[in-house]
Amino acid sequence: MFDPSQWPDKSESHESSQGDAFFDEMKELYGDDSHGPHFADETIHNGVELEELIRGAGRYVRPGDQLRARILERVSHRRERRRIWQRVLGGFTLSCTIALALIIIGRSAMTFMPRGPSSSDLHSQATRRANADGVAWEWALTEVVYDWRRSAATNLSRATPAPQTSATNQPESDRPSVPTSRTHRDGSLR
């Protein structure tokens, strides 16, 4: 089908500068004696060149009337959805940050605040005391708790000086005494 001898002279069949550029490009790609394209008989219909017909057919088709509106609506919808996600994500991040900050603050506060003995400490003290004093474990636990409360009260009174009340002015003998194993080692009074 292709006949190189029919390669058109661009000065004859392609007068436009665009045609010149095209043939220059084809020459660059294929060379002068190349297997150039078969354009020799491209005048096909009433003397109209094929490329012109195709070029005109490009303007024959138009986009739909709703395409622009559809794209704009879709863009708007997507923007709204992105904003919602940004808000959700922002809220989640904020709540996580607040929770983390509260945890950190709480931990640091627990580090600096004085802490009393835990229940396991009291239990172990009670066990030791029960073994040492030869009393029942429950009673030893009671004594340990009493001792702990007493020491806590002492620490508290050191930290905040208590106001002078009638109760504090009472003589030592009038204060209610707490029976402990130190006063009654055998526990016979109980």
Partner 1 sequence: MNQFTPPPSGATFSQRVRTSARQLAELGEDSISGLIDLTSLRLVRFATTLTRNQHDAEDAVQATLVKIAAQPKRLHQCTDPWAYLLRMVRNESMLIMRRRPRWNLIGDVCDLLTRCRVDELEREESYREIWRAMRKLPTQQSEVVVLKIWEEMTFAEIAGVLDISPSTAASRYRYAIAKLNCQLRENLSQPHEDLQQHV
> How does DSSP assign 160-185, residue by residue?
SPPP--TTTTS-GGGSPPPP-TTT-S
10 binds partner 1 (CB under 8 A): no
Binding segment (CB under 8 A) for partner 1, from list 13-21, 101-109, 137-145, 162-170:
13-21
26 binds partner 1 (CB under 8 A): yes
Element (H, E) at 49: strand 48-49
161 binds partner 1 (CB under 8 A): no
Which distant-in-sequence residues (6+ apart) come within 8 Å of 140 by Cβ?
Answer: 126, 127, 129, 130, 133, 181
- The neighbour count for residue 27, using CB atoms within 10 Å, is 14
67 binds partner 1 (CB under 8 A): yes
87 binds partner 1 (CB under 8 A): no
58 binds partner 1 (CB under 8 A): yes
What are the b/e assignments for 100-136, b being 16+ CB within 10 Å? eeeeeeeeeeeeeeeeeeeeeebeebbeebbeebebe
Of 81 and 150, which CB lies nearer to partner 1 in the complex structure?
81
Among residues 70, 77, 2, 1, the alpha carbon closest in space to that of 36 is found at 2
Least distance to partner 1, CB of residue 92, Å: 22
Of 55 and 175, which CB lies nearer to partner 1 in the complex structure?
55
Of 42 and 147, which CB lies nearer to partner 1 in the complex structure?
42
Of 27 and 123, which CB lies nearer to partner 1 in the complex structure?
27
Binding segment (CB under 8 A) for partner 1, from list 33-41, 99-107, 142-150, 168-176:
33-41
Strands 48-49 and 43-45: antiparallel
- Binding residues for partner 1, rule: CB under 8 A, are 1-2, 16, 18, 21, 25-26, 29-30, 36-39, 41-42, 44-46, 50-64, 67-68, 70-72, 74-75, 78-79, 82
